[in-house]
Amino acid sequence: MDMRTPLKKVRGLGSSKQGTEHFWVQRLTAVALIPLFLFFIIFVIANAGASYEQVVGSLTNPFVAVLMGLMVIAGLIHMRIGMQEIIDDYIHNEPLKLAALMANTFFAVLIGGLCLFAILKIAFVG
């Protein structure tokens, strides 16, 4: 005889133990990306037509570099989780699904590393 209440039975993260976490991280990154993307748009508009040296000079500002880095990180996490959901929902061949999930993660890490390296190089070297 199971003595748990119906609420106790359904509480938790589901069979994979990570569904709710992905849901909340996806929503959190979406909310974080709103002001970060607005800042990015303002930065692009403010530097439209500027010379290379002026744009690099703007990116050497620590505030700008940190916000750009946060946008890259939040955007890639958001993208990776969104693509993972698409892969999980629409690819039914297990070996292909595993390969696609691995490629999705590797892509996000590779692009994140390259973008953060570029931002840090500009911020510190100029």
Residue 84 is encoded by which pair of tokens? 């993972």
- As a whole number, mean pLDDT of residues 78-97 equals 95
pTM: 0.81
Indicate the burial class of 26 (C-beta count within 10 angstroms; 0-12, 13-18, 19 or more): middle
- Name the DSSP class of 92: -
For residue range 35-83, what is the model confidence (pLDDT) as tens digits?
999 999 999 999 999 999 999 999 999 999 999 999 999 999 999 999 9
- For residue 69, which of 43, 46, 36, 45 has the smallest C-alpha distance? 36
Query: % helix / strand / coil in the chain, to the nearest 5?
Result: 80, 0, 20
Amino acid sitting at position 65: A
The answer on pLDDT for 12 being more than 60 is no
- Please give the pLDDT value at position 13: 47
C-beta atoms surrounding 119 within 10 Å: 19
* pLDDT at position 107 over 80: yes
Tell me: the pLDDT tens digits for 110-120? Answer: 999 999 999 99
Domains of the chain: 36-125 (1.20.1300)
